[in-house]
Structure 1
Amino acid sequence: MERIVRAIESAAELPLYQEQVLSWAPEIAAFDPGPIGALMGYDFHLGSDGPQLIEVNTNAGGAFLNVLLARAQKRCCNPSEQSAATNQMLDRFEEAVFDMFKQEWQRQSTVAMPNRIAIVDNNPKSQFMFLEFQLACQLLQAKGIDTVILDPSELDYVDGALMAHGQKIDMVYNRLVDFTFEKPDHALLKRAYLEGAVVVTPNPHVHAMLANKRNLTLLSDSQTLRAWGLNETAVGYLERSIPKTRIVSRDDAAELWRTRRDLFFKPVSGYGSKGVYRGSKLTRRVFENILDEDYIAQTFVPATERSMKVDDTVTTRKIDIRLYTYGGQLLLPAARIYQGQATNFRTAGGGFAPVFQV
């Protein structure tokens, strides 16, 4: 999975790849101030032929919660069963995250360190991951950086500085799902970002390069990647691990309907499994709606199942694996356990789970 991540990020550095993805991204994505994206998330199913990439996320949630969960689990297990790599990741997580934010800052700024970081999301206290925001805040504050959690409405832009409650914000850890800052409530953040008044990570350029779902049509096209200059080793990893993906078009409606049982449909601008459909469960009415929207169709890869006990009853649950990375390097792996056609946090006995190398 780590090699697949590095292959994807190598592809994203190709000039012709960048030209193509920017052609379908909003105008703001062309602005590249330097940061490469804090806490990227790469989601995999563990297929019989090896790991299969399902999605790439620029605002992947859960890392700060998962490191605590893994440490708690580690105390219950025989330490000899866990690899040195697992122990090193858990022991170094805070330092690695601090280094990540420092590097993101220094990719855009000549000043050594930011004075204040804001973790920004809409109505953060109501967010499912609010506890994670608090954990991230504590980690950065322990490293000597003043860190606050803010709603975009608390931001102001005064004399070329992004402000909140009278204090200057140097850097934004962006947890918004408005990836291009198009909503009116995000106008001041957008202006400050485009004028270089604040360092934002992850930012719209990173999302366009790596997480726009249309990009999967390129990453699953080995012939094009070869022609664009991607080395054969990287092409091989992507060829084996990225399900064939195509942009849904009404011109292909008959073929898509005929092959729907082998496909999974996702909205291009969706997040959090909203609006996704397994082709085998599609009704004709929903299919017609999909044809009218911006969707991709991805070859369906079934999730791995694991046996587990829920209330003393042995049952099965689906799992996927998420790698949290920075600059192509692994920070932490985690799993999500669920039922249904897409990951969720409503399944009894489901949710996040630690991953150990043994």
Structure 2
Amino acid sequence: MKTTFDQIAARQPQLFSAAEIRVEPAQLAAMAAIVDACETVLALPALRDAALAAAPAIARVPTAARGVFMGYDFHLTAAGPKLIEINTNAGGGLLNAYLLAARGHADAAAAFVAEIVAMFRTEWRLARGGAPLTRIAIVDEAPAGQFLAPEFELFRELFVAHGIAAAIADPADFVRAGDRLLLAGEPVDLIYNRLTDFYLETPVDRDIAAVFAAGGVVLTPHPAVHATHADKRHLMTLSDPQKLADLTVDRQIQAILQAGVPRTIAVDPADAEALWAGRKRWFFKPPAGFGSRAAYRGDKLTRRVFDEILAGHYIAQEIAPPSEHEVIVNGEAQTMKADFRCYVYAGRIQCVAARLYQGQTTNFRTPGGGFAPVFAA
């Protein structure tokens, strides 16, 4: 039976807000300019080579695939949008296409879905040329228990509807046969990678790593794009005028990044007392973190957690407060914060969605919160 929006909303109502968010066109244009500026800088050979050299060896496996569903996350402030982080395998893209359709924006939804299908076909073509794409596996650890498990089923149905066999799998479901991965006895051509083991280092992921390294499967997103884009230490470069100047970045791009990327620094134990004294201005994040895990607002820190941060190679990013929006929940107006996620492929924004919430970080637990479509005001 085909999965519907109503089925997903009934199963996990906190995924979707009833709100629609209107944003000034200038804000949307500014987000696009920041994305473009980041993509330009992160593609510089000196920066890219250094990132790959510092990453695990799997990140240096040659691959022509670009990496699907890059996520650029923003807060909108009075001074314009501020880039909070860059993520690989950003979840929710297809859910937001369904959300658009459910809210009566059928043309926008259809256009986004078409882009999603084209994106996966492009990844395959870049890696394999004219060979037919026969089978895709959507892979995550214990996928049925993942919060975004309904989206995995939507992807499976989407690929099948476009003539591509597809299955949802845990890494342990694969059997390695030489330089191929078999799933239920059939070879897999492409893995849509939803794992948060970004460098395939856990034992259960080692067959995937080995076959990918041997060129036997196309993996997207892949370790290299995590190293070159999603490592949060890149935010230190993108927000540092001296580093940008040393890289001979164009002055206009420098200006865009200075306006759009909050200052980000390495947490150095030698600066512990100054950081503790000024902790209210900082948000502390692990370099390879995701989903707000092990991330802390400075004003909420205990000294014990701060000591763990000092030992954990964290970065500290100046806090850029999220915008607030009035949302009607059960007939009553409530104020919610919003993160704005730009789904990006090959440097181009495919869709912008808001994530509405209350509390310290995006949590998909606020009644009336969740994903909301974003439109120009």
TM-score in same-fold range (> 0.5): yes
Q: Does 1:65 align with 2:95?
A: yes
In 2, the alpha carbon distance for the partners of 1:50 and 1:107 equals 36
Cα pair 1:2 1:328 within 8 Å, conserved? no
Q: What are the Cα deviations for residues 115-147 of structure 1, in whole angstroms up to 9, with x where unaligned?
A: 101100011111111110111111111111111
- Paired residues for 1:16-35 under 5 Å: 16-35=46-65
Question: What SS class does the counterpart of residue 271 from structure 1 fall into?
Answer: coil
In 2, the alpha carbon distance for the partners of 1:174 and 1:325 equals 16
Corresponding position of 1:42 = 72
Corresponding position of 1:239 = 258
* Matched residues, number: 347
Q: Does 1:263 align with 2:282?
A: yes
Cα pair 1:14 1:229 within 8 Å, conserved? no
In 1, the alpha carbon distance for the partners of 2:260 and 2:303 equals 30
- Paired residues for 1:260-339 under 5 Å: 260-339=279-358
Q: Does 1:144 align with 2:163?
A: yes
Cα pair 1:260 1:279 within 8 Å, conserved? yes
Question: What SS class does the counterpart of residue 280 from structure 1 fall into?
Answer: helix
Letter in 2 for 1:179: F
5+ residue gaps in structure 2?
1-30
Corresponding position of 2:143 = 124
Q: Does 1:10 align with 2:40?
A: yes
In 1, the alpha carbon distance for the partners of 2:268 and 2:56 equals 20
Question: What SS class does the counterpart of residue 229 from structure 2 fall into?
Answer: helix
Corresponding position of 1:79 = none
Letter in 2 for 1:3: A
- Greater Cα offset, 23-32 or 134-143: 23-32
In 2, the alpha carbon distance for the partners of 1:230 and 1:147 equals 43
Distance 1:277 1:349, change over 3 A: same
Letter in 2 for 1:74: G
Q: Does 1:153 align with 2:172?
A: yes
Question: What SS class does the counterpart of residue 356 from structure 2 fall into?
Answer: strand
In 1, the alpha carbon distance for the partners of 2:313 and 2:94 equals 33
From 326, 349, 361, the counterpart of 1:342: 361
Question: What SS class does the counterpart of residue 290 from structure 2 fall into?
Answer: coil
Cα distance, 1:185 vs. partner?
A: 0.5
What TM-score do the two structures reach when normalised by structure 2? 0.89
Cα distance, 1:226 vs. partner?
A: 2.8
In 2, the alpha carbon distance for the partners of 1:160 and 1:302 equals 48
In 1, the alpha carbon distance for the partners of 2:107 and 2:331 equals 34
Question: What SS class does the counterpart of residue 74 from structure 1 fall into?
Answer: coil
From 155, 170, 174, the counterpart of 2:189: 170
In 2, the alpha carbon distance for the partners of 1:106 and 1:69 equals 29
Question: What SS class does the counterpart of residue 375 from structure 2 fall into?
Answer: coil
In 2, the alpha carbon distance for the partners of 1:96 and 1:226 equals 36
Identity %: 44
In 2, the alpha carbon distance for the partners of 1:357 and 1:295 equals 36
Q: What are the Cα deviations for residues 23-44 of structure 1, in whole angstroms up to 9, with x where unaligned?
A: 4322221223111110111100
Corresponding position of 2:110 = 91
- What value does the CA root-mean-square deviation take over the aligned residues? 1.4
From 59, 68, 84, the counterpart of 1:54: 84
Letter in 1 for 2:119: M
From 230, 244, 253, the counterpart of 2:272: 253
Cα distance, 1:88 vs. partner?
A: 5.6
Runs of 4 or more consecutive aligned structure 1 residues displaced over 6 Å after TM superposition = none
Cα distance, 1:110 vs. partner?
A: 2.6
In 1, the alpha carbon distance for the partners of 2:68 and 2:375 equals 23
Question: What SS class does the counterpart of residue 342 from structure 1 fall into?
Answer: coil
Letter in 2 for 1:259: G
